[in-house]
Amino acid sequence: MTRFLAAAALAALALLAGASAASAMQIEKIVSPSGIEAWLVREQSAPLVALNFAFHGGSTQDEPEKSGTANLAADLLDEGAGDLDGKTYHERLENHAIELGFQVVRDYFHGSLRTLNEHRDEAFDLLRLALSAPHFDADAIERVRGQVMSSLQRETTSPNSLASNRWWETAFPGHPYGRESKGVLETVPRITADDMRDYVRRAFARNELTISIVGDIDAKTAGALIDRAFAGLPAKNDLKPVANASPSGLGRRIVINLDVPQAVVNFGGQGLARNDPDFIAGYIVNHILAGGTFSSRLYKEVREKRGLAYGVSDSLVWFRRAAVLIGTTATRADRTADALGIVEAETKRMAANGPTADELAAAKSFLKGSYALSLDTSGKIAAQLTQIQIDNLGIDYIERRGGLIDAVSIEDARRVAKRLYSGGMLVTVAGRPIGLTSSGTE
């Protein structure tokens, strides 16, 4: 009960601190005594600290025959480190209501930490041990490996996973972006403790480390805590290069036969790099077409008018070496062809004519107003600041963002719509869609 109350109090304080910090965002760049840079938002309304960080080098660093290595390492970092076994490590976290998490994506290893100020030294010490001295004990490896394998086994009959995995495999054949970060059933059993130690040694370094801190803390103390956790890491990483890539298979439709009531559809094509001058215009246009809100064209046409699906949306997704536009929907087998036909027709219509002036104005208003929802807790603020740094948008991006959106003209929107949606789509369907078969070049 004590642990539960401590965690609940931490969550409430994080929400309070986030709301206050977001309303008066003052971001400062700090440098720790050892020379590690970070962004800091000082917030004195609640006695807590939220840390978010990222190392360059995610699942793209896995060997193809051992895909899932970085993900398995992330799952095991808190299963014993330094002089603490796994049970003791978790007890230290729980007894002090310290929230610590790790996640691997294609290009990055992400970490987050939240703690009350009174426990911050303990929290940053535990983080240091996880990053610099993880055990990777045999019993823990097999237990966590078993959990990953169970998840992967379930995905072999999941239409969502099958459609998604086939889309990425086809879009990026032979490229690290085409591989699932968690690995596959054939590769995860091959991963050894030495493989994970090698990943940690090559990726966890100071030179491409991005850090954001939000909380009741000054620059000097924040710098000392940063060094406490990260200063002992190697100065430079040792990453394998990743080649530039563009999605392949545009114009293809791949049907994966699966005996399920609904068919899941993934669709997408070439996107926009985050540093592309057209990105903001593309972001607005894509919101109008299928940005996941009730006002999008695809939502209205597919769900509201025809009731073909519960939801339909797509997103711009960007990596360091590629950018895609990818969306998804799910519908009854006998209506899959209808739903996909509407998606394709509306996409072509947007490419040909672009949005209307009214649609553009409404999208701008929504995107500016809703941004605060991504800044309503200290943890969300820290995560946003880390992403802004990764994308090299500048420390004043939050202040400039509204102006960048307002600057997009109807001519810009129509030009970028044509650029974004005229290249064709790769479509994968998992289920038994009536009237749909695989088509296009193998």
- What are the boundaries of each domain within the chain? 2-230, 253-431
CATH architecture under which domain 253-431 falls:
2-Layer Sandwich (3.30)
Same fold, 2-230 and 253-431: yes
How many other C-beta atoms lie within 10 A of the C-beta of residue 180? 19
CATH code for the part of the protein at 2-230: 3.30.830.10
Overall pTM > 0.85:
yes
Question: How many Å apart are CA 425 and CA 416, to the nearest integer?
Answer: 16
Task: Give the number of other Cβ atoms within 10 Å of residue 411's Cβ.
Answer: 10
* Residues in the chain with pLDDT values less than 50: 1-6, 8, 12, 19-20
Q: Measured between alpha carbons, how far is 125 from 120 in angstroms, rounded to an integer?
A: 8
| Average pLDDT of the residues of the chain | 94
- Residue 322: phi, psi to the nearest 5? -165, 165
The pair phi, psi for residue 184, each rounded to 5°, is: -135, 170
Residue 68 is predicted with a pLDDT of 98
pLDDT of 247: 98
The pLDDT assigned to 5 comes to 41
Query: Which pLDDT belongs to residue 11?
Result: 53
Residue 24 is predicted with a pLDDT of 63
At residue 13, the pLDDT reads: 53
Rounded to whole angstroms, the Cα distance separating 215 from 385 reads 13
